[in-house]
Structure 1
C-alpha cells in the first residue's frame, strides 16, 4: 500500500472508529475497567445520609462543623495491544481478512482508552518481536498505533505467542490491561501466559474464519501453510479426512478454551463473517457486571 493510500485508510478507520467509540463503546470501556484505586479529591460539609466513616475529623475539629472526605477513582490505566501479524492472519473467506479486523478492533480499543485518558502501547509480533511502541496518550499517538497495525510489513511469517508474552513481562513492570489479538494457531504458550497473567490483566481476543471450522467437500485440493510455505494434497471428498480435520480442530479449540477458563481469563471471540461490535459489547457488559 502506498504511503498516500495508507494515510487515507488510516484516516478513514480513525473517523469510523471514533464514531463507534463516541456512540457505543466509550461508556462500556470506562465501566469495564477499574482504575488503580481511589484518590482524595476534596472535603465538603456533611449532609444527612453521608457515611459517618467518611468524616474528616481534623477539619471538623478546626471548623466546628462536620466535614466529609470525597474520593474519585484514579482512572489512568495502561492498555497494551499485543497483535499477531503472522502469515495466518492473511486469511479470510468472507468480507475481510483477520488482519483487517484486528486493525479496526485495535483502533476501537485504542480510541476508547485515549478517550478515557489512558495510555496505549503496542507490540507487533510474529515468531519474534517485530515492533514495540511504548504506551503514551493523545490523538496523534492513536493514529500512529493504527498506522503501525495497518501498514507494518513483518519480516517473518511464524507465530510465537509465548515469546510475545515473555517480552511483555520484561518491558512492562506495572500492571497493564493487555489485549492479546491472535488466531491462536500456535502452541507452547501456556507457561508464559500463566506468568504474564500474574502481573497483567490478559484478555485473549481470538480471530476465527468460518472455513477453519469445517473442511468443505471440494475433491482434491492443494493446501498451503501460510506460515511455513509447506504444501499438502488433501482429498476433501473423503468423509474420513473431513471428520479427522474437524476432530483435530475441535480438540485444539477445546484445549485453548480450557486453558483460558483455568486461568480465569475473560475472552473475546471474533469471527471474520460477523461484526466485532456485539462480542466486544458483551465483553464490556460482562466486566461491568463483575465490578
Structure 2
C-alpha cells in the first residue's frame, strides 16, 4: 500500500559490526512487538486486578469505593464515606499492573571483542534495546544503568518513550567510546557495578544484567544475593565463539598493538586448556545462579538473537504456559 512503511526483516534487525548503530536500536521496536517479559496471569483474588504481578511487596493501588458486602475485610471500610452516607462503604484496591524494568548494560573494554557477526558490546546493546521496547509495549516503566571502564550513567525508570530513547542514546554513546578490548588496571569491577545497581534499582524491579561476566567471583555473588532480595534478577551472559573454542588448526597470532604472541592452536592440549578456561568461568556463573535461583541466559555473537529472545519471552510461549 502506498505510504505504508515496510516492517524491517529479521536480517535487518540482527546486530552487526564492531559498533552499534542508533537507527538499528530504534528499529528494534519492531522485534519487540511479539515479546512479553512477564506472564500475564488472571488474578486469583477478588481484591486484585486483572493481572497478577510478581512484584515483591504490597504493590496495590486504590481503585474505587463501593457498598460494603458481607465477607469484605472490615479493615478496608472507608469511614469518611460511611459517616457521610450513613451506609457502610469499603475501599477496593487493584494490584499494580506495571513494574519497573531495569536494564544493566556492560560496555567495558573486554566487551569490545568479536570474531563473528558482531562484537559482544554490540550484542549487549541489541538485547537491552529489545527488552526496553518490550517493556514499554507492556506499559512498564523502563530504566537502566550503562557502565564503561571508569564511568556510568543511570537512566531513571519512567513509563515513557523518552526513557527508552534516553537509554538507547546512552548505550550508543558508551559503545562508541570503546577502542580496545584490553582494559587498564583501574577498570571498574563487576562487584562495584552490582553494588551500584542495588543503589539505583527500586525494590520490586525486574533487573536484567547483560555482560560477559569475565570478572565474576564470589564477591559478585554476594552482591547478587543482596540485589535479589528485593528485585527479580535475570543474568544474560554474552560471549564470542572464539572465546569458547579455537577454530583454527594453525598457529594464531595475537597482538595488543605493541607485542605479538603466537598461540599453538593446532596443539590438542592447548586447545583443551583454552576451552577449559572458558567453561570453568561459565560453570562458576552457572552454579552461582543456581544457588541464588536466578535465571541465566547465554547468547553468542553469532546467535540468531531475536529468534532466541522470542523463544524465551514470546507472547505465545506465555499463553501456552498459562
Both proteins in one fold, TM over 0.5: yes
Contact 1:127 1:163 in 2 (8 A): no
Equivalent positions of 1:171-182 (< 5 A) are 171-182=200-211
Q: Deviation at 1:205? A: 0.7
**Aligned match of 2:122 in 90, 100, 125?**
100
Q: 1:200 aligns with which of 231, 250, 256?
A: 231
Name the CA shift for 1:131/1:40 in 2 (closer, same or farther; >3 Å): closer
Q: Does structure 1 residue 116 correspond to structure 2 residue 138?
A: yes
Partner of 1:34: 54
Aligned partner of 1:148 in structure 2 is 170
3-state SS, counterpart of residue 31 of structure 1:
coil
Is structure 2 residue 312 aligned with structure 1 residue 279? no
Q: 2:158 aligns with which of 136, 144, 154?
A: 136
Q: Is the 8 A contact 2:109 2:149 kept in 1?
A: no
Distance in 1 between residues matched to 2:260 and 2:228, nearest whole Å? 37
Equivalent pair of 1:219/1:236 in contact (CA under 8 Å): yes
> Residue in 2 aligned with 1:257?
286
Structure with the bigger percentage of helix: 1
Question: Could you tell me how far 1:262 is from its partner in structure 2?
Answer: 0.7
Q: Is the 8 A contact 2:207 2:232 kept in 1?
A: yes
Give the structure 2 partner of residue 86 of structure 1.
108
- CA 1:9/1:212 → structure 2, altered by over 3 Å: closer, same or farther? closer
- Superposed displacement of residue 40, structure 1: 4.3
1:24 alignment counterpart: 34
Indicate conservation of the 8 Å contact 2:112/2:119, yes or no.
yes
Task: In structure 2, list runs of 5 or more residues that go unmatched.
Answer: 1-19, 42-52
| Structure 1 residue ranges without an equivalent (≥5) | 1-7
The two structures have a TM-score, normalised by structure 1, of 0.77
Q: Cα distance, 1:287 vs. partner?
A: 7.9
Number of residues of Structure 1 aligned to a counterpart in Structure 2: 276
In the alignment, the residues of structure 2 paired with residue 172 and residue 73 of structure 1 have an alpha-carbon distance, to the nearest angstrom, of 21
Question: Which stretch has the larger CA shift, 100-109 or 272-281?
Answer: 272-281
CA deviations on 1:176-208 (whole Å, 9 max, x unpaired) are 211110011113322222222222222111112
CA distance, structure 2, for counterparts of residue 45 and residue 221 of structure 1: 78
How much does 1:232 deviate? 3.9
Deviation (angstroms), 1:171? 3.3
Q: Does 1:247 align with 2:258?
A: no
Distance 2:124 2:196 in 1: 20
Report deviation, 1:85: 0.7
Range with bigger deviation, 68-77 or 237-246: 68-77
C-alpha RMSD of matched pairs (Å) = 3.8
Q: Does the 8 Å contact 1:130/1:154 carry over to 2?
A: no
TM-score, structure 2 as length reference: 0.70
Q: SS of the counterpart of 1:94?
A: coil
